[in-house]
Each structure stands twice: as structure tokens, then as C-alpha cells.
Amino acid sequence: MSMNNINRRKSHEVKVGNISVGGNNPVIVQSMTDTNTSDIEKTTEQIIQLAKAGSEIVRVTVNDSDAMQAIPYIKENLIKSDITVPIVGDFHFNGHILLNKYKTEAGCLDKFRINPGNVGKKNKKDKNFTTMIETACELNKPVRIGVNWGSLDQELLASNLDANNKLSKPKTLDEVMCDSVITSALENAKLAESIGMGKDKIIISCKLSKVNMLIKVYKKISEMCDYALHLGLTEAGSNERGVVYSACALGPLLLDGIGDTIRVSLTTDINGSRSKEVDVAKLILQSLGIRYFLPDVTSCPGCGRTSSDYFQKLASDIDKHIKINMPAWKKDYPGVENLKISVMGCIVNGPGESKHADIGISLPGRGENPTAPVYIDGQKNVTLKGNNITNDFKEILFNYIESRFKT
């Protein structure tokens, strides 16, 4: 694990189940289920899938009595499956009722997510919010005060817009929106403190779906408080859009040391795996050198010099080989996730890139000598030939891992 010389913003540490968020702890990856929480079997199954993919905190919807009453059974199933991932209850509109009525069930959750824009209107807003915070304090649970611009407190926004219109140089609508999101988060966090909740129980988030606005909001709020911050681009979209937008939004913030936990909010394809958002979140952290989850495999895209698709197949095969073996490797070879591997397709950049890696292979390109030199720790180690290059390289890779990481 490495922070790549990034100067992390100082924040209060918050204990969420068996996971510590903020302080000097690593940036935590989290995700959310999309099942009907009252379906105990399906929700349990998806939480296990997300946890095994690497999600360190999982959030579930708690929108009615059936969902709340399902929580203890879900937790029981997870314990039986040896899954200890913390579970966060996501409350909107009726959270004050559910938390007050089902305190035993609420006690099985590890954190409550409260959206200030969805707790009530006018005089009911603070009253309902207070009920939820009081329950959290009674049960000794942390909360995430999660503001989302799609459900922003409309009274607060209207008040800020009216005040802005009276200025000699009014701000843009986007600027007022950003300020309102920040104000909502901080005012409600302060209200939670006034009720009796410590800073070590509060995480805040300010989610928007526009990349530039999200970055501005988090940079500003990070200078205004020392609460632990959860990062996420809301409604990022699906497939390439969701991946690229999320990376562009979270990357600059993480490089500035902002963010204690992240989620990538992807629209799941029909019959697609929910764990894709976990994989993307881990890749964002790994690409920045903030955390390492798997050995890094560098491979070239291929060009007119490559004589076949052999090296693409080899790169793909090595990726799959690593993912399959990582559960066992992590137990037997601590630190193996920091390994750097290179799989290159021709002589142009192949040898040089392979030398930069811990272990690398440079396959022959079109018109080149049909051999594949292997480099270990920057030095040429052996040259592979024939039809068994893939298996030979896997064997060399395993021997290197065993010699370097075995304790």
C-alpha cells in the first residue's frame, strides 16, 4: 500500500463496523446494492459478491418496514458466510420513523446514510433529522450526511437564490448550487454535533453529476471542515461514460489528498455484474499509486509491427491468471499486489518497458527475431522460444513471486 507522496487532507477518523475511515487510514472503497432489500437471499448474495470483489463498505436501501426487518437476517447470513463487511442503511423520507420504530434492527447496521434534502419540509425537517441523529447516538452508530444536488433542500436553495439576486454582481446558477450543497452539508453536520454526535461519528458527502462542479465543491469544502469526506460522482452513467467521468472527477481530488472513501456510481447493464463499480474504484486508486490491489500489468495497444494477436492474448491471459490466483497469493505472499509486470508486443518499446517493470516480457514483432526476452529487475534473464511461451512465462512469474514475497 502506498500513498505515492500525496499529502492527505487531515480528517477525523470514523469507525464503521470493522473499517476505519479518515484519519491516517487508506482511502476506502465502497458500493451499494440494487436489490430489493426485503429479498434477504438476493441482497445477501449481492453483498457477498461486492465484498469479494473488494468493496470494504456496502450500502443497502432501507425504504420500508420490510427492508428494515430484513437487516438482522441479512447480517446473520453474512456472518454464516464469514463476510464481515460493514453494512450502511440508506434512509430517505421516512428514516426518522423507521429508525425510531425498529431500533433493534437499526442496531444491526454499521452506519446510517441521511440525505438532508429528503428528511422533511419546513419545521419537520430539523425535527426528523434530530430524531435520526438521536437514534444514531443512542445506538453508537456513525452517520454519513449525504447531500445530493438532485434532492437538495429546496427551501435552502430558494433562499440562497433570493439572496444572490440582490447582489450587485450575482453568482451564476451553478455557483449558487455549489454553495448550497456545501451549506446543506456543513449546517446539518453542525446540527448533528449540537445534538450530541462527535466529529468521529460524522462523514459528509456532496454529490453532483457534473465533473467540474464536483471538483470545485470538494476542494472548497475540504478547506472549510475536518470531517471525513466520501467522494462520488452521482449518476455517472453506464459503461465507458460512467468509468471516464468518475475517473476524471475523483482523480484530481484524490491527487490533492482529498477523500477518505469513494464510490463509483455506475448504471449496471442488464444481467451485468454490480461488482464492476468496485473494480473501477480500485483501478482509480491503483492508477494514482494510492492503493494497490493487484499486480500492475502494463501492456501496449499493438500496432502494424505486431505480427499476430499473440501478445494481446498473453496480456489478457496474465491478467486472468493474476485475478484467479490473487486470493491465494495474498495469503501466501504479502505485498504481491505491488508487483509490476510488463507484456509488450515488439522491439520498439518492449525491452525498455520490460526493464522498468519488476518482471517483463517483450514478444517479437513483424520481421523481428522470433524470440521473447524476459527481464527481471531490469536485467535480461532468459529468452523464450517456441509455442509454450505463455506457460513458460507464468512459471517464471510464479517463481519470481515466491522468491521475492514468500515470508
**Which residues 6+ apart lie within 8 Å of 202 measured at CB?**
12, 14, 142, 143, 144, 145, 189, 192, 193, 227, 228
Q: What is the pLDDT of residues 265-305, one digit of tens each?
A: 999 988 889 999 999 999 999 999 999 999 999 998 888 87
**What pLDDT does residue 2 have?**
44
**What pLDDT does residue 1 have?**
38
**Which residues 6+ apart lie within 8 Å of 61 measured at CB?**
32, 33, 37, 67, 90
**What pLDDT does residue 304 have?**
81
Where the chain has pLDDT below 70, the residues are: 1-4, 307-308, 367-369
Integer Cα distance of 334 and 404 in angstroms: 10
Our separate counts of H helices and E strands in the chain read 13, 17
**What pLDDT does residue 270 have?**
87
**What pLDDT does residue 308 have?**
65
**What pLDDT does residue 4 have?**
63
**What pLDDT does residue 364 have?**
79
Domains plus CATH for the chain? Answer: 14-287 (3.20.20.20), 296-405 (3.30.413.10)
Q: What is the pLDDT of residues 350-378, one digit of tens each?
A: 999 999 999 999 987 776 667 899 999 99
Terminal alpha carbon distance of the chain: 17
**What pLDDT does residue 191 have?**
98
Q: Give the residues across from 61 on adjacent strands.
A: 90
The pTM is what?
Answer: 0.95
What nine digits make up the cell of 200? Answer: 468521529
